[in-house]
Structure 1
Amino acid sequence: MNQKNKIILFNPLVTKFKARIPLSILQVAASIYGKYEFVLIDGNRETDSWGKIKKYLDSGEFKYFGCTVMPGPQLRQAIPFTKQIKEEYPQITTIWGGYFASNQYKVCMESGYVDYIINGIGDLAFPALLDALENQLDLHQINNLIFKVKDVIVKTHKITSIDMDSLQTLPYQELEKYYPIQSYLGKTYLGKKTTLYHSSFGCPFTCSFCGIVPIFEARWKGMSADRLYQDIKYLKDQYKIDSVEFCDNNFFVSEKRIRAFCELIEPEKIQWWGEARIDTLDKFSDDTLALMSRAGCTMIFLGAETGNEDTLKAIDKGGTQNAAQMIRFAERLGQFNIIPEYSFVLGFPAETPQQVMAMIDEDIEFIKKVKQANPHTEIILYVYSPVLTEGSDLYEKVKASGFVFPAKLDDWLAQEWKGFDLRKNPLTPWLTAPMIDKIRNFEVVLNARYPTVQDVKLSSLQRKAIAFLSKVRYQTNFFHFPVELKLLQRFWLRYRQPETEGATML
């Protein structure tokens, strides 16, 4: 192998808490394993990520810098580090992947320090790009690539699915050279050694607020149940995992695949969590739901979004999901000892401020109905953050409001954009301070009345105490200025929100 063309694969900092296994750079590493030499740097595990990068670059052995870039926290390292590389090491080729790079490709390519973007699936595109650069081949023949020719941005043909069973297994042994795998496995609500796993690409729906829709274009492709089982069995045998968070965008698309996987995994006694659509899962038979429960399915994340059916149509939720079904299914899932985790998006645009506030109030009342139907339902609250999918009604409303994304890549580092993709800092013109306060204060009261089961450090006494102290506020809809609950959550409970950090890991 050429000793001067090594690759740095960098996973920027995401969380200040327990680091999760960096599947993104592992997936890319698998695509070039045995073809090119690479090093892995996990910004979540380094005290000085830039120092590590600089040390490698100073060796003179590296030619490429690959960086996965998701919106939100990862930008805080991805942008300045890539910019500094281009300034100090102009000979280094910089390559970005991840859905921020794909969805915001224009501002990335105009920055002057991002050379290439892998547009969506990179398992074939990344090694093909390296081969082309090493051998002066035509870049236009590579699928899923974005680059510039004489200041003109070129987007090549994009493929949105590939046979996942044909892909190389993740090179965990390579990650082990840099960071012990065991250090990524922590205690969560699911188990004592929880890992992440990704088994499919995309989702067959077109929700206009979802960042993956422009990338996968309503297509879904999953690995076979047998391949999925073999990979999880390997992790159990090799690293003694006892639980898995499946971070697929839609893990439960195929009931046939789920049944086959559950039949295989049931004897392994592994607890697991995944994401689904309510209307899809509601079509599963009782027999399948019972099998899922026996096979370790403990909690399912479900995008409820809103109880307003006109809004569901406006955001192109698709399918058959409706308010009555959401309530009924929350109750149904409880019969199988599986916890439904419903996410709601509050603050969608409307014609007038009064209509926006009325929609917020309506969703708060709907959430309370869901909790009444099944008190064990976990509720995740987000504030609507635009993902502009051209052609949708929501896209037109967002444009009309005056909302715009940053015009320059460096502008994404501004403080006001820091929490944007976590949907905690929406920056949307139609949301006023009183609206945001109502959502935030309701969230405080709701989380106090029903503390999340995912926060494994909370004691039974703490849960009962905070639930009791918030009871009157919750019942009377008195959400204004819940300072006593905020103080308890911050200093006594040290409550953490799974929507921003994932399930608590210790």
Structure 2
Amino acid sequence: MGKANKVILFNPLVTKYKARIPLSILQVAASIYGNYEFVLVDGNREDDPWSKIKNYLNTGEFHYFGCTVMPGPQLRQAIPFTKRIKEEYPDITIIWGGYFASNQYKVCMESGYVDYIINGIGDLAFPALLDALENSTDLFKINNLIFRKNEELIKTHKITSIDMDSLKTFPYQELERFYPITSYFGKTHLGLRTTLYHSSFGCPFTCSFCGIVPIFEARWKGMSAERLYREIKYLKDEYGVDSVEFCDNNFFVSEKRVRRFCELIQDEHIKWWGEARIDTLDKFSDETLSLMENAGCKMIFLGAETGNEETLKAIDKGGTQNASQMIRFAARMKRFNIIPEYSFVLGFPAETPQKVMAMIDEDINFIKQVKEANPDTEIIIYVYSPVLTEGSDLYESVKASGFQFPEKLDDWLDQEWKGFDLRKNPLTPWLTAKMINKIRNFEVVLNARYPTAQDVKLSKFQRKTISLLSQIRYKTNFFNFPYELKFLLRFWLRYRQPEIEGATML
């Protein structure tokens, strides 16, 4: 293999707080480990990641730059760094992957500085692309690839599931060459050494507001419980990990897999968190939920979305989820000492502004019903941001309203799009300033009344004080101008919202 064929794998900045282990580039590194030399650059760990990248490129030993690009903060480094590489090192082949690259592939490829996109699963596509470029073989035979051929945009056949047990294990020892692995672990609400792990691809549902639907097309494939247990056991034995956040899109699809994993892990004293659907978990037996509790499950993120059943149908939520079930299940979880974390999406489009506001008010009241059923229920609030799910009724109504995504890749760096994919700055024509203020002010009061358990730096005194101060506002629905709570949350509690920053890691 030639000297100039090494690969830079770059993980752009996600958070200004403690860095989490870069699973996306580790997954790609695993796919080429032993066949191609690579270096890892984590934008979350570097004061000046561009200088690190530039120093590697100046050696002349690198020919490929692979970048994972999620919507939101990662764009702030991914776009300018990639553009600069293409300008200063035009011979470097640039390969993007991640949800943003797959869902916004047209604007990425039209930028002129992205050469190839891995469309969805890249464990087979990335090494196959390198092999094809090294040996000048046919790109059309590679699945999950987007590229240009004679000015024509080509999308090859896409596979949406893969046998995860057949994949190589993460090369943690290679990450250690660049960054101490234990520095990625930290104290959270789960434990003293929490890490991330990803054990499955996709989700078997087609919610039209979800960014993974166009990528996995309602397919789900999970690692076997036995291999998952071995992977987590290795992290515990080798690095002292005592807790795990499973960042699967839907960890709990298979009750059988969950049960088997719990049976294997329950004596290891590992605490864990994962994502699920309410209607799926509600079908789990009490025996399974009790086993989950005994096996260390402490909290589950659940997509409630809305208490309006007409809206649930309109957004293609699918399944059997309904308002009464959400309240009943929240109450049911009190019996198992597992905290349900319900996420809601407010501000869906409607025929008139009056109806949009009425839906917001309805969801606020519904959230309060959920809290009454189980006060320990964590509430996550998002403002609806359109997802490029072409052909869905919801997206068609969004386009009809006049909304459109940026036409140029550089435009994603504009200030007004900075918070778009965090679902805090939706830029949608049907949402007025009054509506956004109502949502945000309710969120302030709610966070004060029920501070999240995930912010481990808050003392009992702080929690009790802010909760008491917000009690009257919460009870009377007086959400306007909560300046005193905003001040205390920002400067006294330094409050962190899990939907933006994840659970606190110290």
Q: TM-score, with normalisation over the residues of structure 1?
A: 1.00
Give the aligned residue type for 1:3. Answer: K
Question: Which position in structure 2 is the counterpart of 1:398?
Answer: 398
Matched residues in 1 for 2:364 and 2:160: separation? 37
Question: Which position in structure 2 is the counterpart of 1:124?
Answer: 124
Aligned length: 506
Q: Name the SS for the 2:8 alignment partner.
A: strand
Question: Which position in structure 2 is the counterpart of 1:275?
Answer: 275
Question: Which position in structure 1 is the counterpart of 2:163?
Answer: 163
Matched residues in 2 for 1:2 and 1:47: separation? 31
Matched residues in 2 for 1:424 and 1:46: separation? 27
Q: Name the SS for the 1:425 alignment partner.
A: coil
TM superposition shift of 1:390 = 1.9
Matched residues in 2 for 1:420 and 1:395: separation? 16
Q: Name the SS for the 2:9 alignment partner.
A: strand
Matched residues in 2 for 1:327 and 1:310: separation? 17
Does the aligned pair in 1 maintain the 2:104–2:388 contact within 8 Å? no
TM superposition shift of 1:396 = 1.4
Matched, 1:226 2:226: yes
Runs (4+) of structure 1 exceeding 6 A deviation are: none
Matched residues in 2 for 1:459 and 1:223: separation? 38
Question: Which position in structure 1 is the counterpart of 2:189?
Answer: 189
Does the aligned pair in 1 maintain the 2:14–2:74 contact within 8 Å? yes
Question: Which position in structure 1 is the counterpart of 2:150?
Answer: 150
Give the aligned residue type for 1:176. Answer: E
Matched residues in 1 for 2:426 and 2:242: separation? 37
Matched residues in 1 for 2:171 and 2:352: separation? 53
Matched, 1:462 2:490: no
Give the aligned residue type for 1:107. Answer: V
Matched, 1:324 2:324: yes
Q: Trace 1:243-258 onto structure 2 (pairs within 5 A).
A: 243-258=243-258
Q: Name the SS for the 2:327 alignment partner.
A: helix
Q: Trace 1:346-361 onto structure 2 (pairs within 5 A).
A: 346-361=346-361
Question: Which position in structure 2 is the counterpart of 1:382?
Answer: 382
Matched residues in 1 for 2:429 and 2:354: separation? 14
Q: Trace 1:482-497 onto structure 2 (pairs within 5 A).
A: 482-497=482-497
Matched, 1:339 2:339: yes
Matched residues in 1 for 2:231 and 2:388: separation? 36
Matched, 1:204 2:204: yes
Q: Name the SS for the 2:14 alignment partner.
A: coil
Matched residues in 2 for 1:2 and 1:190: separation? 46
Residues 20-55 of structure 1, C-alpha deviation per residue, up to 9 Å, x if partnerless? 000000000000000000000000000000000000
Question: Which position in structure 2 is the counterpart of 1:237?
Answer: 237
Matched residues in 2 for 1:439 and 1:377: separation? 19
TM superposition shift of 1:19 = 0.3
Matched residues in 2 for 1:461 and 1:125: separation? 52
TM superposition shift of 1:391 = 2.0
RMSD after superposition:
0.4
Residues 74-109 of structure 1, C-alpha deviation per residue, up to 9 Å, x if partnerless? 000000000000000000000000010000000000
Residues 347-367 of structure 1, C-alpha deviation per residue, up to 9 Å, x if partnerless? 000000000000000000000
TM superposition shift of 1:395 = 1.1
Question: Which position in structure 2 is the counterpart of 1:301?
Answer: 301
Residues 132-190 of structure 1, C-alpha deviation per residue, up to 9 Å, x if partnerless? 00000000000000000111100000000010000000001000010001100000000
Question: Which position in structure 1 is the counterpart of 2:140?
Answer: 140
Q: Name the SS for the 2:114 alignment partner.
A: coil
Give the aligned residue type for 1:351. Answer: E
Give the aligned residue type for 2:211. Answer: G
Does the aligned pair in 1 maintain the 2:252–2:276 contact within 8 Å? yes
Matched residues in 2 for 1:88 and 1:27: separation? 28
Matched residues in 1 for 2:86 and 2:392: separation? 37
Question: Which position in structure 1 is the counterpart of 2:60?
Answer: 60
Give the aligned residue type for 1:415. Answer: Q
Q: Name the SS for the 1:342 alignment partner.
A: strand
Question: Which position in structure 2 is the counterpart of 1:419?
Answer: 419
Q: Name the SS for the 2:421 alignment partner.
A: coil
Give the aligned residue type for 1:133. Answer: L
Give the aligned residue type for 2:408. Answer: K
Matched residues in 1 for 2:126 and 2:199: separation? 19
Matched residues in 1 for 2:69 and 2:430: separation? 28
Residues 298-345 of structure 1, C-alpha deviation per residue, up to 9 Å, x if partnerless? 000000000000000000000000000000000101110000000000
Matched residues in 1 for 2:298 and 2:309: separation? 29
Give the aligned residue type for 1:481. Answer: F
Gaps of 5+ in 1: none
Matched residues in 1 for 2:119 and 2:81: separation? 21
Matched residues in 2 for 1:18 and 1:313: separation? 39
Question: Which position in structure 2 is the counterpart of 1:287?
Answer: 287
Question: Which position in structure 2 is the counterpart of 1:31?
Answer: 31
Matched residues in 1 for 2:242 and 2:93: separation? 40
Does the aligned pair in 1 maintain the 2:206–2:317 contact within 8 Å? yes
Matched residues in 2 for 1:305 and 1:505: separation? 26
Q: TM-score, with normalisation over the residues of structure 2?
A: 1.00
TM superposition shift of 1:257 = 0.1
Does the aligned pair in 1 maintain the 2:119–2:144 contact within 8 Å? yes
Matched residues in 2 for 1:102 and 1:490: separation? 36
Give the aligned residue type for 1:166. Answer: S
Matched, 1:446 2:446: yes
Give the aligned residue type for 1:278. Answer: I
Matched, 1:312 2:315: no
Question: Which position in structure 2 is the counterpart of 1:16?
Answer: 16
Matched residues in 2 for 1:237 and 1:501: separation? 28
Matched residues in 2 for 1:3 and 1:228: separation? 37
Matched residues in 2 for 1:492 and 1:162: separation? 48
Question: Which position in structure 1 is the counterpart of 2:102?
Answer: 102
Gaps of 5+ in 2: none
Q: Name the SS for the 1:160 alignment partner.
A: coil
Matched residues in 2 for 1:64 and 1:230: separation? 33
Question: Which position in structure 1 is the counterpart of 2:262?
Answer: 262
Give the aligned residue type for 2:448. Answer: A
Give the aligned residue type for 2:27. Answer: Q
Matched residues in 2 for 1:422 and 1:134: separation? 38
TM superposition shift of 1:388 = 2.5
Q: Name the SS for the 1:78 alignment partner.
A: helix
Give the aligned residue type for 1:287. Answer: E
Matched residues in 1 for 2:390 and 2:284: separation? 33
